[in-house]
């Protein structure tokens, strides 16, 4: 912590239109690991594309065995000080929009105002039926899986799928447009806990920079935009964001 943190907090105090993008690094302090990391319990699971899910019963079973097992970790995780700091800044009307790549629902559970939140990669907390598009809380299909239905089915006969955006599945256009419009209109852009390698949402950084916004990247990992950012802070988010919130809200 130091000069960069003080500068960022000062900019945030004065910002009229602050936009935040968050990624997996924000939730590691909540005990949500990168599930497919080498040597991990879930390493054997490969991502299932939406095309595989819809065309192959074996893929649906494989997908649900991964999702079914990891839900216990996600549903029991609690927001950490980084989530809480962002919620307090937003509740003081100092964040115009927060876009998260996470599907864990921890921003909602931290009290972040949902009208200023976009879950750009969907949510693990709900399921949708791929046949009739019905949407229900995750518990609805999870209970079926836990009682032995390897592929939980909707009453219409279609397969339930957690409401995350899978590989091969397009983002929701209105969410993407809203995210890009916010990035192109902001005067402060903060990327927190994301390595900014997943497109197209990482384009928010360049859009914000082109408008002349102050751009901050807070993550321990390297990003393709480190050389272009106004500042890069590598300290842990659960320390940095509360320290910034204290200064912004002082």
Nearer to Zn ion, 129 or 216 (CB): 129
C-alpha–C-alpha distance, residues 195 and 241, integer Å: 17
Nearer to Zn ion, 11 or 67 (CB): 67
CA angle, residues 133, 135, 137, in degrees to nearest 5: 155
Stretch that binds Zn ion, among 41-49, 111-119, 127-135, 214-222 (CB under 5 A): 127-135
Nearest residue to 154 (alpha-carbon basis) of 133, 180, 139: 133
Nearest residue to 19 (alpha-carbon basis) of 156, 188, 157: 188
The residue behind tokens 């842990």 is 236
Establish whether 121 is a catalytic residue. yes
User: Measured from the CB of residue 130, what is the shortest distance to Zn ion in angstroms?
Assistant: 8
| Residue 6 binds to Zn ion (criterion: CB under 5 A) | no
User: Measured from the CB of residue 134, what is the shortest distance to Zn ion in angstroms?
Assistant: 5
Which residues between 135 and 154 bind Zn ion (CB under 5 A)?
154
Residue 159: strand pairing partners: 153
1, 6, 156, 197: which one binds Zn ion (CB under 5 A): 156
* Residue partners of 198: CB distance under 8 A and separation at least 6: 23, 101
| Residue 216 binds to Zn ion (criterion: CB under 5 A) | no
3-state DSSP percent of the chain in helix, strand and coil, to 5: 40, 15, 40
Q: Which residue in the list 83, 107, 121, 140 is annotated as catalytic? A: 121
| Residue 131 binds to Zn ion (criterion: CB under 5 A) | yes
User: Measured from the CB of residue 139, what is the shortest distance to Zn ion in angstroms?
Assistant: 17
Nearer to Zn ion, 156 or 198 (CB): 156
| Residue 129 binds to Zn ion (criterion: CB under 5 A) | yes
Nearer to Zn ion, 6 or 156 (CB): 156
Q: Which sign does the torsion angle of CA 80, 81, 82, 86 carry?
A: positive
Residue ranges that bind Zn ion, judged by CB under 5 A: 129, 131-132, 134, 154, 156, 158
Active site residues: 121
């Amino acid at each position: 912590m130091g000069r960069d943190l003080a500068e960022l907090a000062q900019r945030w105090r004065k910002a009229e239109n602050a936009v935040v993008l968050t990624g997996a690094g924000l939730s590691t302090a909540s005990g949500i690991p990168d599930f497919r990391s080498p040597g991990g319990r879930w390493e054997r699971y490969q991502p299932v594309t939406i095309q595989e899910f819809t065309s192959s019963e074996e893929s649906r079973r494989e997908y649900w065995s991964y999702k079914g097992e990891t839900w216990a970790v996600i549903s029991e995780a609690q927001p950490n000080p980084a989530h809480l700091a962002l919620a307090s800044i937003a509740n003081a009307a100092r964040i115009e929009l927060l876009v998260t790549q996470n599907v864990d629902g921890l921003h909602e559970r931290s009290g972040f105002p949902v009208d200023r939140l976009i879950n750009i990669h969907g949510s693990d907390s709900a399921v949708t039926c791929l046949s009739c598009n019905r949407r229900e809380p995750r518990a609805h299909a999870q209970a079926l899986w836990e009682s032995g239905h390897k592929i939980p089915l909707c009453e219409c006969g279609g397969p339930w799928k957690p409401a995350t955006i899978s590989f091969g599945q397009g983002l929701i256009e209105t969410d993407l447009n809203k995210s890009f419009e916010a990035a192109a209109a902001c005067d402060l852009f903060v990327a927190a806990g994301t390595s900014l390698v997943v497109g197209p949402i990482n384009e928010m950084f360049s859009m914000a920079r082109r408008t002349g916004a102050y751009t901050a990247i807070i993550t321990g990992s390297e990003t393709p935009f480190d050389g272009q950012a106004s500042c890069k802070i590598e300290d842990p988010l659960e320390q940095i964001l509360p320290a910034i919130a204290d200064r912004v809200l002082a």
